Amino acid sequence: MNPLYFAAPAALTTAGVFAYGCVYPRAQIFGPTICRTNSCGKLAITFDDGPNPSITPKLLDLLDRHEARATFFLIGRFVRECPGLVKEISARGHVIGNHTETHPNLFWLTPGQINAELQQCHAAIADTLGAPPQWFRPPFGMRNPWVISKAGELGCQTVMWTLIPGDWREKPAEWLISRMQPIARHARRSSKYGSAAARGTGDILCLHDGSHRQLNGDRTRTLAALEHWLPRWRDLGLEFVTIDDAVRTPAL
């Protein structure tokens, strides 16, 4: 029998597992990642691709109004352009993470190139805040066998998500609001089942206050969707926590 009958499916399976590890947000085969909070009562809202001078200040005010703390994964070259805004994010009680220097797809890069991308952003944040970040999120969520270990060498844990509603797409705010419905659905299910469900895990939401292509990207729909959901999520009993509080403080 032709050995290709056996070899071809095996190769396809290996390729499939590899692709799963690169792309699927909760895959762990290239190393451990954080992809849930430690309690169904804790929602970790995260923002990528900032800082963004035209959106982030409004977002900080909105989060303050709802006593929400969040995590911002910043692009190093934008950190260097807006150091005052980075300090403001931190001063308001939010946590800052590394989202690389220039936002490449790390899948295609060598270990040395990955290291340079992470190291430059790491230094930009450390120089601005006086302390290095402890969290890292890969651009586009893309990993390869080196990404998570390179972040670990810088003292950073890799953070993924449970929900990424696609707020970069040019759709009406109503579309984005409906895409964020699963958060409320999970919260209702948890309150229905009471203390048994409280031992469960909560969502990490991935939104964007910036655009990786340029500063001052339009993210007004993200603000509008949060204006809609923050009071409703609060009414459902959710706490809005940073990634530190999502995994390091005891479950609610």
Among 40, 46, 47, 48, binds Zn ion (CB under 5 A): 48
Q: Is 244 exposed, middle or buried (0-12, 13-18, 19+ CB in 10 A)?
A: middle
Report d(CA 50, CA 71) in Å as an integer: 11
| Gyration radius from the chain CA atoms | 19
Q: Which residues contact 190 (CB under 8 A, 6 or more apart)?
A: 40, 41, 197, 198, 200
Please indicate whether residue 66 is annotated as part of the active site. Answer: no
Q: Closer to Zn ion by CB, 48 or 167: give it.
A: 48
Binding to Zn ion in span 132-151, by CB under 5 A: 139
Chain position whose Cβ is nearest to Zn ion:
48
Q: Closer to Zn ion by CB, 49 or 245: give it.
A: 49
Window of 45-53, 124-132, 176-184, 231-239 that interacts with Zn ion by CB under 5 A:
45-53
Q: Does 167 bind Zn ion (CB under 5 A)?
A: no
Q: Closer to Zn ion by CB, 187 or 207: give it.
A: 207
Residue of 94, 122, 186, 208 with catalytic role: 208
Report d(CA 238, CA 135) in Å as an integer: 23
Binding string, residues 51-80; x marks residues near Zn ion by CB under 5 A: ------------------------------
Q: How far is the CB of 161 from Zn ion (least distance, A)?
A: 11
Q: How far is the CB of 6 from Zn ion (least distance, A)?
A: 41
Q: Are 37 and 43 in contact (CB under 8 A)?
A: yes
Among 45, 49, 147, 219, binds Zn ion (CB under 5 A): 49
Please indicate whether residue 48 is annotated as part of the active site. Answer: yes
Report d(CA 49, CA 249) in Å as an integer: 26
Q: How far is CA 73 from the centre of its chain?
A: 7
Q: What is the DSSP letter of 250?
A: P
Residues that bind Zn ion (CB under 5 A): 48-49, 139
Q: Which residues are catalytic?
A: 48, 208
